Amino acid sequence: MNRVDYAHEFVSHLCDSIEAFVKRNNESGFFYRGLNLYHAVEIALYSSLSENKNLFSIFEKWNNGSLKNPEPVENAIEKKIASILCSLEENKFEVIRKENAIKRVIKLFIRFALRFLGIRAFVYLVRKILNKRLQKGISADVLFYVPNDRFVKYAKPIFDSIKAKVFYISHEKKAVDYCKKENIPCVNLSYFGSRILHLSNKKNLLDKFFITDKVDLVFDSIKRLHPKSIVVVEGNGAHDEIANQIAKSLNIKSVCVQQGWSPIVHNGFRNMSYSKMLVWGEGFAELLQPYNPKQKFIVTGSHILELNKEEKNIEKVKSIAFFAQGISRILNEKAWRDHVKLAVWTAKTYPDTKVIFREHPLYKILEEDRKKIEQYENVVFMNSDKYKLDEVMAASQVSVSIYSSTILESVAAGVLPIIFNVTSFPNFFPDIAKEGAGIEVKSFEAAQETISKLLNNPEIINGFRKPMMDFQNKYFAFNKETALQNIIKEIMQ
C-alpha cells in the first residue's frame, strides 16, 4: 500500500494510543495549580503527533512487517507512544537524541539558575501586579476564551447580542491585539517574562506543550474577574480544556459552542466535560456522546448558517462551489492539488457555470495554483475575509469538498455536496451519501463524471431534496436567528 492508505488507520489508532498512554502515566500527575490537566495533555499530544512523520513511518513499517530492531525514535514520548501504537515492547525502539550533550547541559543549567535565583517567582509576582493594574475597574459577566482572531469573528454575533458585561480573553497576544485593533472589548493581559518562564520550565509534558504557561497567563485574571460563564469555541484545543478546568476550580460555568465538525472523533473531541456543549443538531450529540459520557449536550442550532428548506426544483446549475482545505496527515499534497485541479477542469469545461473557490482561512493555495484558476473568467474567489459562509452557500447549487465541515453545512443550506474522497477515509462520517443526502466519489475521474452529470442534467439534484431535508432536520435544528437566541440563553442561564 502507498503512504496515504494508512493515514486514517494511523490517526484512529493514535487517538486510542494517546488515551492509553495518558491513563498509564496519570499517576505521575498532570496537575498544576490545583487543575487536573490530563485531557489538555491528550489534546496536545494529538496535535503534536498526528502530523509526526517519523511516527507515521514506524506505523507503516509495522503494517508492512519491515520495522528495524531497534527502530529509531526521536524522544522518550515517541518511544512510549510507538510501543502502544504497534503493540510492541519499548525495547523495540531506541531514542536517537538530536541535541548534543553540551546543549542539554547548558539548558539544564539555565533552568536551574532561573529557579534557584527566584527569577521565576519574581516574574509571576510582577505579572500579577501588572495584570491587577491593567484590569482595574473591569468586571465581566461572560468571558469568551479564544486562541485566534478567526474564533473572535465566529463568536462575535453571539458576543454582540449578549445584554451583559462581556469580554474576550486569550493567552495569545495576537488575538488580544486583534481585538484592540478592531475596538472589541477584551481583557488586557501582561505577557511580561514569558520567554524567561519558557526557559525555566521543568521538562515534563505540561511544560513541553506550554500548558503551564497558558494557565499562568489567564488563571489569576479569570479568578479576579470571576464571570458567570466562560465560553469557548469548538472545544477541541488544549486551551479550551484549560479554560474548562479553570472554570471548574472557580465554580464558573463553562460553555462550548460548536464551530465545525471533524469526521474523525480525535482526542480533542473525546473526554469533554464542559458544563454545556451547544451543538447544531441532535445528530452531532448522538455521534459525540459515546466518546464523551460526562458531557451534557444541548441542541441550539448554528448561529451563522441560514437553513434552506425551499423545495423549488433546480432547472440549471448556475454555480458550483469548491471549498479548499489544508494539507494534513489525512489530506496529502496530491489530493489537495487534485481538488484545485478539479476546480480548474470544471471552469474550463463549463464556461457558462460560475465556479466559486473558497480558500481555508488558515491555508492559502499556492500562487501557481491561484494563477491556473484565475485565468478563467467564470471563476470567483469568495474567501472568508470578504464573504460569509451564508453568502457562498446562497450563491451555489452544488459544492465540492474533501472532508470539510462545509459538506454538512451545504446540506443545511440546501446545496448538494459532492464529497471528493481521495483520502484514506473509508467514507465520510457521518455517511451522508448512504443517507442519500449527498454524493461521495473516490477518484478524480469519478468526480469529473459526477460534475458533468449534474451540470448537464440538473434535474438529478431534485431527487436528493427529500433525504437532504431529513438530514438537515437531524443535524441542523434551528435557523440562525433562533439558534443565536438559543445560544445566548444557554450562556446566560
The yes-or-no verdict on residue 195 having pLDDT over 80 is no
Q: What is the pLDDT of residues 138-194, one digit of tens each?
A: 999 999 999 999 999 999 999 999 999 999 999 999 999 999 999 999 999 998 887
pLDDT value of position 13: 96
The yes-or-no verdict on residue 104 having pLDDT over 90 is no
Q: What is the DSSP string of 176-199?
A: HHHHHHTT--B-----TTHHHHHH
Mean pLDDT to the nearest integer, 437-464: 96
The yes-or-no verdict on residue 443 having pLDDT over 70 is yes
3-state SS assignment for residue 71: strand
8 A C-beta contact, residue 348 and residue 378 = no
Grid cell, residue 341, equals: 485541479
3-state SS assignment for residue 292: coil
Q: What is the pLDDT of residues 31-87, one digit of tens each?
A: 999 999 999 999 999 999 999 999 999 999 999 999 988 999 988 999 999 999 999
pLDDT value of position 124: 84
Q: What is the pLDDT of residues 351-362, one digit of tens each?
A: 999 999 999 887
Domains of the chain: 3-95 (no CATH), 101-299 (3.40.50.11720), 319-475 (3.40.50.2000)
pLDDT value of position 234: 96
Q: What is the pLDDT of residues 280-316, one digit of tens each?
A: 999 999 999 999 999 999 999 999 998 988 776 788 8
pLDDT value of position 200: 66
Rounded to two decimals, the pTM is: 0.92
Which of 164, 178, 168, 127 has its CA nearest to residue 145?
A: 168
Helix (H) or strand (E) holding 380: strand 379-381
